[in-house]
């Protein structure tokens, strides 16, 4: 079974700050790091490190070759990545002293996905293959429609959440992986139980994973709910923790068929990611996750 992740590739500029910058304020960062990132790229790396056969679809500009190389080195198939004239997508990220982040995104090449490109990429896949999507590229709705026609299983991480998400053909999505804030914006409900109930009323055949920050995560479908605690670590940088969770959950689910095991591996891997700096570089290998004493 193949996994196609059609998603963003970003260059992350990460500024270490005592606190997030306020309106009108000028404040010096204590450190600048440049990391490969983008929710798409991060999730592809997590999927591959957790053992899946992953193909990445998406765009880079002339300044994005290092990102393609990073994916390749992690074991991701990069042959479906297109080169465009537009500058590569990038993110300006502030990380504060508690490890929290705030992100400015510039879509660039990520927003140059074309209809013809979608057809060409999907040609490589068959019914039953997985498609993973986030919300950092254009034409997400068209990709969902076409992949559904092909019989692919569609996984959506509706992040970053915006109005465009509501316009997507969400009834064609098999799996939602989202956090509480995204869940609230999508359903209008606040309590995790109510968010899950509302999503299952709207999409009764969907399978849902809701992450609850420090309170863990929960899997829900029409028949069952499974809860998972977090593994506690000292937070250094939370960037890409959600992406690591998504990649490890889907990859482990494909490998083992067990939601319980997938939630546990995702919780372990994202705890390790939180304890390290950067997006892609913080994503652990399977050996690290299995060997970690957490
Ligand atoms: O989820 C983390 C990612 O969000 C960063 O790598 C950044 O590029 C933004 O897309």
Token pair listed for 73: 């080195």
235-273 residue pLDDT tens: 999 899 999 999 999 999 999 999 999 999 999 999 999
Q: What is the mean pLDDT of the chain?
A: 96
Residue 199 has φ and ψ, to the nearest 5°, of -65, -40
CA distance 99 to 198: 32
Ligand 1 binding pocket includes 237 (Cβ within 6 Å): no
Q: pTM here? A: 0.96
> What is the spatial distance between Cα 180 and Cα 235, in angstroms, rounded to a whole number?
19
Q: Is 91 in the pocket of ligand 1 (CB under 6 A)?
A: yes
- CB of residue 243 inside a 6 A radius of ligand 1: yes
Average pLDDT over residues 24-41: 96
The secondary structure of the chain in percent helix, strand, coil, rounded to multiples of 5, reads: 40, 25, 40
- Span 142-152, average pLDDT: 98
Atom from ligand 1 closest to the CA of residue 243: 1
d(CA 158, CA 165): 7
CA distance 229 to 117: 40
- Please determine, for residue 293, whether its predicted confidence score (pLDDT) is greater than 80: no
Q: How far is the CA of 201 from the centre of ligand 1 (A)?
A: 31
Burial of residue 194 (number of CB atoms within 10 Å: 0-12, 13-18, 19+): middle
- CB of 121 shorter than 6 A to ligand 1: no
- Rounded distance from Cα 36 to ligand 1 centre (Å): 9
Percent of residues, the chain, with pLDDT higher than 90: 95
Measured torsion, CA atoms of residues 207, 47, 268, 279, in degrees rounded to the nearest 10: -110
């Amino acid at each position: 079974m193949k996994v196609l992740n059609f998603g963003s590739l970003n260059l992350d500029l990460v500024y270490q700050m005592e606190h997030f910058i306020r309106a009108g304020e000028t404040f010096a960062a204590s450190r600048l790091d440049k990391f490969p990132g983008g929710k798409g790229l991060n999730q592809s790396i997590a999927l591959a490190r957790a053992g899946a056969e992953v193909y990445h679809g998406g765009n880079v500009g002339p300044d994005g070759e290092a990102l393609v190389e990073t994916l390749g080195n992690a074991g991701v198939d990069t042959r479906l990545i297109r080169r465009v004239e537009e500058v590569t997508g990038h993110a300006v990220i502030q990380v504060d002293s508690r490890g929290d982040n705030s992100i400015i995104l510039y879509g660039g090449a990520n927003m140059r996905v074309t209809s013809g490109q979608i057809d060409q990429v999907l040609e490589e896949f068959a019914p039953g293959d997985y498609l993973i999507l986030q919300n950092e590229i254009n034409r997400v709705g068209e990709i969902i429609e076409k992949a559904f026609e092909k019989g692919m299983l569609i996984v959506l991480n509706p992040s970053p959440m915006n109005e465009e998400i509501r316009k997507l053909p969400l009834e064609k999505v098999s799996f939602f992986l989202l956090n509480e804030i995204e869940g609230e914006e999508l359903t209008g409900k606040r309590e995790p139980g109510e968010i899950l109930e509302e999503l299952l009323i709207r999409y009764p055949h969907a399978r849902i994973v809701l992450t609850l920050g420090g309170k863990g995560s929960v899997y829900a479908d029409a028949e069952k709910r499974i809860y998972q605690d977090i593994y506690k670590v000292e937070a250094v940088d939370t960037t890409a923790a959600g992406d690591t969770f998504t990649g490890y959950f889907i990859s482990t689910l494909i490998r083992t068929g067990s939601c319980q095991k997938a939630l546990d591996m995702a919780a372990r891997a994202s705890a390790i990611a939180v304890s390290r700096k950067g997006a892609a570089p913080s994503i652990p290998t399977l050996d690290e996750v299995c060997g970690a004493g957490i």
